[in-house]
Amino acid sequence: MGLPPFRYLFFGNYFIGILALALNVETNFQLRLPFFSISYYCLLFILPVVYYTYAYQHQTIAPASNNPRSRWYYDNSGLVFKMQIVLLVLAALCAGNICYRHFDNIIHLPTFYWVLMLLVILAGLLYYGLLPGFTLRQVGWLKAFVIGFVWACCANLLPIIILKVEFNIDFHQHILWVFLFLKNWTFCTVNAIIFDIKDYPSDANKQLKTFVVRYGLRKTIFSILMPILSVGMIALLCFATFKGFGLLPGMINCIPFVLTLLVAYSMRKRHSLDYYLVVIDGLILLKACCGILAMYFVKG
C-alpha cells in the first residue's frame, strides 16, 4: 500500500467508485434487470469519488503526522483538485447525455422517486457536514445506519429509477426489492460500524457516542454487529427462497456475511489504515462478486 498507485486508488476514493459499480451490477444480476447505459455507469463511478474526496478535502486543513490519509491529501492537494475538476466535467457530460436521451421519461418520473432521491442526497450532505448547521456525524449511533442507508439506496434504489428512465419499465417485484435493500442496508451498516472501531480513540475524545464508544468493543461485536448481520442474512435467505436460488447460490451469498463476522472479531487488535481500506471495504466488493457469481448457478 506504500506505492503511489495504490495510495491514489484508495485514498483518492476510486475504490469507492468501483464499489458503487459492483453493487449496481450485482443488483442487475440478482433482479435480472437489463444493463444500463455507459453514461449511467460512468456517472455512478464518478459521483462517489467526487463526494468522498470533497468530504476529506473539507476536513483536511494541514498534514497530520499520525494520519496517512490527511498527509496524502495535503501532499497531493493540487493533483486532487485538478482531478476533481476533470471528474465533475465528465459527470456533467454523462448526466447531460442521459437527460438528452431520456428527457421525457425523466420529467414523468413518479413523485415518490424524486422524494427518495432528494432524501438520499440530503442525508449524504448532512452526514459530512457539507451543509451548514448540522451534521449527522454528531449523532454517533445513527451515523452507521445513515451510511448503510445511502449505500443501499445507491445499490438498490438507483437501478430501479434508471430502469424507468432508460427503458420506461416499472419494477413490480417489490417484496424482492425490500429483501435485497435490507440485505445491503444491514451489510453496509455493519461495515460502517467496523470502521468506527478504527476511529474509537478520536471519537471518544470528541465525545462522539458511536456504538463502540458507548458499549465497548466486545459488546459492539457480539450484541450489535452479530444481530444486525443476522437480520441481513435472514433477508438474504428470504430473497433466495422467493427467487428459488437453491442451496449452492444461497451458500455463496452467505460467504461475505461469515467473513464479515471474522473480520469484526479480528478488530480486537489494532490494524493500520491500509487494512481498513483494503480488507473492510473489500468485503463490500466481495459481497457484490459473490452475488453475481451465485446467479450463474441459479436455474431458470
Distance from C-alpha of 83 to C-alpha of 47, rounded to nearest angstrom: 13
pLDDT digits (tens, 9 = 90+) for 85-129: 999 999 999 999 999 999 999 998 888 888 878 877 877 776 665
Q: How confident is the model at residue 1 (pLDDT cuts 50, 70, 90)?
A: very low
pTM of the model: 0.90
Q: 245: burial class by Cβ within 10 Å (0-12, 13-18, 19+)?
A: buried
- Lookup result for grid cell 417489490: 174
Residue 127, amino acid: Y
| Long-range contacts (CB closer than 8 Å, 24 or more residues apart) made by 220-228 | 220/193, 221/264, 221/265, 221/267, 224/193, 225/190, 225/193, 225/194, 225/261, 225/264, 226/261, 228/186, 228/189, 228/190, 228/193
Q: Residue 63 above 80 pLDDT? A: no
- The C-alpha cell that represents 85 in the structure block: 475538476
Residue 276, amino acid: Y
Distance from C-alpha of 159 to C-alpha of 294, rounded to nearest angstrom: 19
Neighbours of 123 (CB within 10 A): 15
Q: Which of 183, 180, 214 is nearest to 197 (CA)?
A: 214
pLDDT digits (tens, 9 = 90+) for 261-292: 888 888 777 777 778 888 889 999 999 999 99
Residue 279, amino acid: V
Contact criterion met (CB below 8 Å) for 63 and 70: yes
